Amino acid sequence: MGILNDRVVIITGAGGGLGAAHARVFAAEGACVLVNDINREAAQKVVDEIIASGGRAVANSSDITSYSDSENAVKQAIETWGALHVVLNNAGVNRDRMFASMTEAEWDTIMSVHLKGHFCISSHAVHYWRDQSKTGNPIAARIINTTSGAGLQGSIGQSNYAAAKGGIAALTLNQAAELGRYGITANAVAPAARTGMTTAVEAMAQRMASPTDGSFDYWAPENVSSLLAWLASEQASDVTGRVFEAEGGKISIADGWRTTEGVDKGQRWLPGEVAEAMTQLLANEKPAQKVYGS
C-alpha cells in the first residue's frame, strides 16, 4: 500500500493544520493512525475523513501535557492495533509577546504544551519499546519531534516559543544518542507551511494563500508531511539525531551549534586580556542566521 504499511502511529495535535495533513498522508501510506487532539470533535472529523478514504484511524483526546493521561494514547494505540511504532509530536500553541511584556502564564503555557508535551507520550512509548527490546523483539521505532526556525535562530516576539522549540531540538539529539540501543531513532523537523497558526496574521495569510492557477502549492502542509512519513518508515533506520527543515519542495538539514577552533592562550586569560581574544574570535566568526524579525 505504501511505505508505512501497517505501521502504528500516534500523531499529536492532529485535529487540524499540519497534524491533520500528517495524519492523512500517513494513512494514505498504509499507517494505522491514532489522531490525538484535545478537541475530540476535531480529531474525530479527521478520523472520519481517513476512514472514508479507505484508511485506518481512531480518535484520542488525551492531554499531552498530563503525564498520566498521555499514557492512555499509547495504551489505546496498542490495544487497537497490537503495536506501536511511531510517535509524531506535533501539537503546539502560540502565546506571542515581546519579552519585556511576557507573563508567567504565557511562558508556562508554551513550555507545557511544547516541551513537556514532547516528553509525555514519548516517555510512555519508550518504556513500551524498551520492554519489547529486552524480551528480544526486534524494534524499528521512531520519535519525530517538531521544532521551528524560531527555535533554531530565534524570533522577535516569540521568546517563549523559541526557547521551547530550541529545547525540543536539543531533546531530539539526546533521545537519539540514548535510545538507539533499543532500536529507536529520533529526529526533528522545522516545518514551514500554511496552518491556522502561521496565517493568523493577515499579511502571512496573503503570502501563504493557495494558488488559483493550478501551480505548485508551495505552502501546502502536505509538502512537509512527506518527509515525516519517510522518517517514520523502516527505510529511515539509519537516520537519527538530525534536525531537518521542510518548506515547499525543499528539504534541508539544519547545521547546529559547533565548537570553533577558538583562541587558546594555554593559561588563564586575565580579565583585561579577554578583549584581545574576543577581537580574534569575532574576526574569524561565521555569524549565525539573523533572528526572525530583526
Residues marked active site are found at 148, 161, 165
Looking from the CA of 22 toward its CB, the CA atoms found within 13 Å total 36
How buried is 134 (Cβ within 10 angstroms: 0-12 exposed, 13-18 middle, 19+ buried)? exposed
DSSP H helical ranges for the chain: 17-28, 40-52, 67-81, 104-110, 117-134, 149-153, 159-179, 202-207, 222-232, 274-284
CA distance 95 to 107: 8
DSSP letters along 183-222, please?
Answer: TEEEEEEEEE---TTTTSSHHHHHHTPPPSSS---TT-TH
- Burial annotation 28-56 (CB, 10 A radius, 16+ → b, else e): bbbbbbbbbbbeeebbbbbbebbeeeebb
